[in-house]
Structure 1
Amino acid sequence: MSGTQQNNPLHGVTLQQIVIDLQDEYGWEELGRRINIRCFQSDPSVKSSLKFLRKTPWAREKVEQLWVHSQRNVR
């Protein structure tokens, strides 16, 4: 099991850190273009985004996928 978690790029990373990283890298406007969810498009904030993403699994998955993709480009 621990080997699986070590290979999971999301292991040990909080949703809050993911949202902050993406906002720093892309900005809210670009995030709203890349992922069509209102919390990135209308009066965006980390707090409102976290509230929405914690309740909406499909949106959280898209955000996590974008973060993983962006981390591959960094390394």
Structure 2
Amino acid sequence: MQIEAVRVDETLRGIGLGSAMMRWAVEEARRRGAALVQLTSDNARPDAHRFYDRLGFVQSHAGFKLLLD
């Protein structure tokens, strides 16, 4: 399962909404028989990285981009 573009409004952070959404997504992946859940997160979002770490995700890849004119 691929998870993308996870965001919680600043005014709603810290009440467990993001954790609840991610737990639901992981359980849904299990229910559907997925063997892996992966996501990407911008390097400029260290708070998000700590959030994913707390949920048990492990950083495993580096991403690269090439901006075109």
TM-score by length of 1: 0.25
Larger Rg: 2
Larger strand percent: 2
Larger helix percent: 1
